[in-house]
Amino acid sequence: MHSRPRDDDPRLGDLSEGEILRAILNRTARGAHTVIGPGDDAAVIAAPSGSVVATTDTLVHGPDFRMAWSSGFDLGWKSAAVNLADIAAMGARPTALLVALAVPRDLRLSFVESLADGFREACAALAPGCAVVGGDLTVSDVLTVAVTALGDLEGRQAVTRSGARVGDVVAVAGELGHAALGLSVLFGRFRDGDTPVPIDRAALGAGERAALDAQLRPSPPIGLGPFAAIAGATAMMDISDGLALDARRLAAASEVTIALDGGALGENVERALGGGEDHALLATFPPGIPPAGFRAIGEVVARGEDALLVDGAPVEASGWDPYRDWDSASG
């Protein structure tokens, strides 16, 4: 069909949409819930509960990732993980992903193939049975990955942010502040002026490498979402913008105050409170010891002047607001 020369790793602009889609689909697993997969006008996914949980989250080159720092695999993995976490935070089991890719014409095919691998492996590792069931491919000067995740409640009620009750224990599953530490490693160690430069992992200690992985390839505890729901979680959300900001949101939705125990937040309390992108699960449970996988970090108290207290005192709001914090000109 195509008379142009083909090198081993062509640019996307030299391929047809069909060629690129075939390369992606060759690397896409079939999900356990997939009734009709990619290739038709739309996919069909089992929703045995009679409802479907749905969320969408986008990663844009610049504010959300840099190609100097993230491989295609990293980007696919992270794009999957952050969306799976939102499904898990409702107490649902992820069933399917849809991926809308907007790609520059000079991007290499191998990058997109690795991206597809990242999606597949993140599903296999974090949410077995879930798979990419559909997508869209378009051209853009800015590499953009918009993902929609679907999930099933398996007959349970959704666990919203608004169900926390006074006396509940506040608990968390997953890391706090590790992804933020990873970001600070990237910004502090792998820039030339404002320009990101490739990561030299050999130059890093084990802690820094782990933090980097938490930033570039996060592993939120997806299975603990449905587990928490079964265990009676009264409210739940994933921590995407930092514990302080997200705990405030949960407190506001539930019309309570969340009183955290600073001693339960690890060595660097400020980073645990302010650091986003770990996608840990924040949940409240009836009084007592939280279920396995969760650790108690505080208590729900009656709504006071402040929605969030740490060791009894109010804390400054902090967290990540892309509209305020990102400036494309300064890297």
Q: Is 246 annotated as a binding residue?
A: no
Task: Tell me whether residue 86 is annotated as binding.
Answer: yes
Q: Quick check: 170 and 107 in contact, CB under 8 A?
A: no
Phi, psi of 77 (to 5 degrees): -60, -50
Taking the C-alpha atoms of residue 331 and residue 61, their distance in angstroms, rounded to an integer, is 11
Is 277 annotated as belonging to a binding site?
A: yes
Among 49, 110, 268, 318, interactor with its own copies by CB under 8 A: 49
Rounded CA-CA distance 256/162 in Å is: 9
> Which listed range, 23-31, 50-58, 175-183, 212-220, lies at the site for its own copies (CB under 8 A)?
50-58
Q: Pick the piece of the chain touching its own copies (CB under 8 A) from 48-56, 120-128, 171-179, 295-303.
A: 48-56
| Residue 9 binds its own copies, judged by CB under 8 A | no
Q: Does 223 bind its own copies (CB under 8 A)?
A: no
Q: What is the CA radius of gyration of the chain?
A: 21
297 CB-contact burial (10 Å; exposed 0-12 / middle 13-18 / buried 19+):
buried
CA dist 16 and 25 (Å) reads 14
Selected binder of its own copies within 5, 50, 193, 198 (CB under 8 A): 50
Q: Which two tokens stand for residue 95?
A: 């069933």
Backbone angles phi, psi at 162, to 5 degrees: -105, 10
Q: Is residue 249 part of an annotated ligand binding site?
A: no
SS3 102: strand
Q: How far is the CB of 85 from its own copies (least distance, A)?
A: 8
Smallest gap from residue 21 Cβ to its own copies (A) = 10
Q: Tell whether residue 40 is among the known ligand binding residues.
A: no
- For residue 292, the SS3 value is coil
Between CA 255 and CA 258 the distance in angstroms is 10
Least distance from C-beta 281 to its own copies, angstroms? 10
User: What dihedral angle (degrees, nearest 10) is formed by the CA atoms of 156, 235, 81, 194?
Assistant: 160
Q: Which position among 9, 141, 255, 311 is part of the footprint of its own copies (CB under 8 A)? A: 141
**In the complex, what is the shortest distance from the CB of residue 181 to its own copies, in angstroms, rounded to a whole number?**
23
To its own copies, the closest distance from the beta carbon of 38 in angstroms equals 10
Structure tokens at 26: 């060759």
Q: Which of residues 90 and 315 has its CB atom nearest to its own copies in the complex?
A: 90
Q: Smaller CB distance to its own copies: residue 105 or 295?
A: 105
Q: How far apart are the C-alpha atoms of 169 and 284, rounded to whole Å? A: 5
- Which residues lie closer than 8 Å to 90 by C-beta, 6 or more apart? 53, 151, 153, 158, 159, 160, 225, 236
Is 64 known as a binding-site position?
yes
Residue 269 or 315: which CB sits closer to its own copies? 315
Q: Which stretch binds its own copies (CB under 8 A): 95-103, 187-195, 255-263, 305-313?
A: 95-103
The answer to the question of residue 48 lying near its own copies (CB under 8 A) is yes
Judged by CB under 8 A, the residue of 151, 218, 220, 298 near its own copies is: 151
Residues in 262-321 that interact with its own copies by CB under 8 A: 321
Contact status, residue 61 vs residue 143, Cβ threshold 8 Å: yes
Using rule CB under 8 A, residue 99 touches its own copies: yes
Residues 157-186 interacting with its own copies (rule: CB under 8 A): 158, 160-162
Known binding positions for substrate: 64, 277, 320
Report the binding-site residues for ATP: 135-136, 161, 240
